[in-house]
Structure formats: structure tokens, C-alpha cells
């Protein structure tokens, strides 16, 4: 892989990772609910999912998923259903800011389940057919067959994961900043409804995704 090829890959991957999607929405929600520090677990989970999909792309398995109607349909429905579930839960329960503020006043200490946040991020990544299509279509375009494969794929995977994590972290910090600025007004309740609707909308949109 040449340096120019790597720069082109980095530019495309950056545009893909910085574009709002289910992962950014989930991380932003967790950042508003628990703070950026805890939402890092969600980011790590999502990046782990991207790593797994990248490995599947290397082995050619993601192409099988992408072109197999039953498997693709199953992955699509699981992803859509999970996003809709998260949206309904957020709509009904909100961000849980009341519990967090009570903890900040010295009452019951509220600590989110790190493993649960990690799994949420992992599932959103693994059940997103658009991400599967992206890794399947993009990675092979930047591989030179006359050079060792492992170093090239390693560079692409590490670059992709790094950009994903940085973009997610940026959105998480912005989301927490928005929460802090709106702490004294009745915005959080409205925001939870908006985020819930976006989750549900994303799930419905994902359910209509096609293989082409």
C-alpha cells in the first residue's frame, strides 16, 4: 500500500465515521446520561464490533453475509429491532438524569453497568448492515495483491478503528456539553423524546436497507 492510497482511504473512512449514524446516536445518548467517561465503554464496544467486521472482511465472510438473502435479512431485522427497542426505552424512561443528579447531591450513588454499555456499542456495530457493506466494499480497493496482505489489512483496520473512536469521542464530548448547558432548563426531557424518535426512525430506516 502506498502513502497516497492510505491518505485516500483515511479521507473516505473519516467521512464515513464522522457522518451521524446509530453508533454516534448511541454514544451521544450514553454521554448525556452518564457522562463522557462512562460512554467510552460504548465507544470501545462499537470499535470492537468494527474490528470483528473488518476481520470478517479480510476472511471474505462479510461478503457472504452481504450477498446471502436470509443472513442479511436476519442481521437487518436484529439491528432494526434493537434500535427501535432502544428508542422506545429512551422515550419512556428518558436519560435518567434525575437519578444522576440525586447521586451528585450525595444521595444514592448511580453507576452505570460498564459491561452493558460495552455490549450496547458492540451490538449496534455488529447488526448494522451498512457497516458490513462499507468494510466489504472499501477494504479490498486499497489492497495490493503483489504485497503482503497482513501488514496492509492491519494498517487499514487500525486506521479505521482509530478514526471511529476519535469521532465517537468528539460527539460524546459535544453531547455532554449540551447537557451541561441545558441543565437548568427543561430541555433534557425534550431531548430524550427527540433521541428516542431518532433511534426509532433509524431502526425503521435500517429495516428498509437493501443488499445493493
pLDDT in tens, 16-57: 788 778 888 889 888 888 889 999 999 999 999 989 888 877
Please state, in angstroms and rounded to a whole number, the distance separating the CA atoms of residues 12 and 30: 27
Task: Please indicate whether residue 108 or residue 195 has the higher confidence score (pLDDT).
Answer: 195
For the ranges 55-69, 74-88, 151-165, 192-206, the maximum mean pLDDT occurs at 151-165
Nearest Cα neighbor of 140 from 7, 23, 5 is 5
What angle (nearest 5°) sits at the alpha carbon of residue 180, between those of residues 98 and 175?
Answer: 100
Q: pTM above the 0.85 mark?
A: no
Averaged pLDDT of the chain: 75
SS3 86: helix
- Do the Cβ atoms of 131 and 13 come closer than 8 Å? no
- Does the pLDDT value for residue 208 go beyond 50? yes
Q: What average pLDDT score do residues 180-190 get?
A: 52
- Does the pLDDT value for residue 103 go beyond 80? no
- Do the Cβ atoms of 84 and 199 come closer than 8 Å? yes
Task: Please indicate whether residue 118 or residue 9 has the higher confidence score (pLDDT).
Answer: 118
- Do the Cβ atoms of 97 and 188 come closer than 8 Å? yes
Whole-number pLDDT of residue 45: 95
Provide the grid cell at 137: 466494499
Nearest Cα neighbor of 179 from 68, 60, 94, 88 is 94
Give one DSSP letter per residue of 108-141, joined into a string. S-----HHHHHHHHHHHHHT-HHHHHHHHHHGGG
For the ranges 47-51, 138-142, 178-182, the maximum mean pLDDT occurs at 47-51
CA separation, residue 200 to residues 40, 79, 128, 181, 193 (Å): 23, 11, 14, 26, 11
Whole-number pLDDT of residue 42: 95
Amino acid at each position: 500500500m502506498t502513502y497516497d492510497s492510505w491518505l485516500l482511504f483515511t479521507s473516505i473512512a473519516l467521512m464515513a465515521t464522522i457522518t451521524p449514524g446509530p453508533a454516534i446516536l448511541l454514544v451521544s445518548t450514553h454521554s448525556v446520561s452518564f457522562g463522557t467517561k462512562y460512554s467510552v465503554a460504548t465507544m470501545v464496544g462499537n470499535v470492537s464490533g468494527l474490528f470483528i467486521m473488518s476481520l470478517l472482511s479480510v476472511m471474505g465472510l462479510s461478503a457472504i453475509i452481504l450477498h446471502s438473502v436470509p443472513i442479511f435479512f436476519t442481521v437487518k431485522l436484529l439491528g432494526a429491532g434493537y434500535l427501535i427497542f432502544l428508542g422506545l426505552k429512551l422515550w419512556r424512561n428518558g436519560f435518567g438524569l434525575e437519578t444522576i443528579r440525586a447521586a451528585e447531591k450525595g444521595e444514592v450513588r448511580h453507576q452505570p453497568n460498564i459491561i452493558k454499555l460495552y455490549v450496547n456499542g458492540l451490538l449496534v456495530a455488529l447488526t448494522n448492515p451498512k457497516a458490513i457493506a462499507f468494510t466489504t466494499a472499501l477494504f479490498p480497493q486499497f489492497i495490493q495483491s503483489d504485497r503482503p496482505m497482513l501488514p496492509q489489512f492491519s494498517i487499514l483496520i487500525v486506521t479505521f478503528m482509530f478514526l471511529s473512536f476519535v469521532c465517537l469521542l468528539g460527539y460524546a464530548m459535544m453531547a455532554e456539553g449540551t447537557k451541561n448547558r441545558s441543565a437548568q432548563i427543561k430541555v433534557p426531557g425534550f431531548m430524550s423524546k427527540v433521541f428516542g424518535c431518532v433511534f426509532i426512525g433509524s431502526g425503521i430506516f435500517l429495516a428498509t436497507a437493501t443488499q445493493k
